[in-house]
Amino acid sequence: MELALFIIFGGLAVAAALNLLLQRHPINSALSLVVVMMSLAVLYWSLGAEFLAAAQVIVYSGAIMVLFVFVIMLLNAGEEERTTGSRAAYIAGFPGAAAIFCLLSSVFLSESKALGTANLGGHLGGTVSNIAEISHVLFTTLLLPFEVTSVLILVAILGAVVLARKEQ
């Protein structure tokens, strides 16, 4: 099952990365980058790095991509052209989405049966989960670098807005 997940989402990540490079419009490239990041999150999850997968989705696929799209729109990268959509996307999209949904459903159901009635509140079978360990280190030992990084990202956002501002 893990091999099937790796093959599907690894191939999807490579295909989306190639699409990212071949797109002419920056918004389409940004959406391809979202697909790459979501595929990487599934690969992290399949390796047992649940926290890293969640951080990939929340931080990169969510916040960073919103920032990218905001900067692209702020710079006014070009006129958006109306299209009816890709014929290949219509042909492969629905069956592909259904296949991925079925695969993920079977993986989640098999995992929930394997766990049984285990306590999911930070301990699985008496051992500390990697989420509990990471959160403990992040909010004790690495608290200062964590907060400095958030201030650095805020300064970068403000700098992008100032640089992209049109002169009056």
The whole-angstrom separation of Cα 46 and Cα 62 is 20
pLDDT over 90 for what percent of the chain?
10
Q: Does domain 2-120 have CATH number 1.10.1740.10?
A: no
Which candidate, 15, 54, 7, 49, places its Cα nearest to that of 32? 15
Is the CB of residue 69 less than 8 Å from the CB of residue 78? no
The whole-angstrom separation of Cα 121 and Cα 94 is 36
**Residue range 47-69: mean pLDDT, rounded:** 82
Q: What is the pLDDT of residues 103-131, one digit of tens each?
A: 778 877 777 666 554 444 444 445 556 77
Per-domain residue ranges for the chain?
2-120, 121-168
Q: Would you state the pLDDT for residue 117?
A: 47
pTM of the model: 0.56
**In 5-155, where do the E strands start and end?**
123-124, 127-128
The whole-angstrom separation of Cα 47 and Cα 98 is 23
Is the CB of residue 19 less than 8 Å from the CB of residue 32? yes
Q: Would you state the pLDDT for residue 14?
A: 93
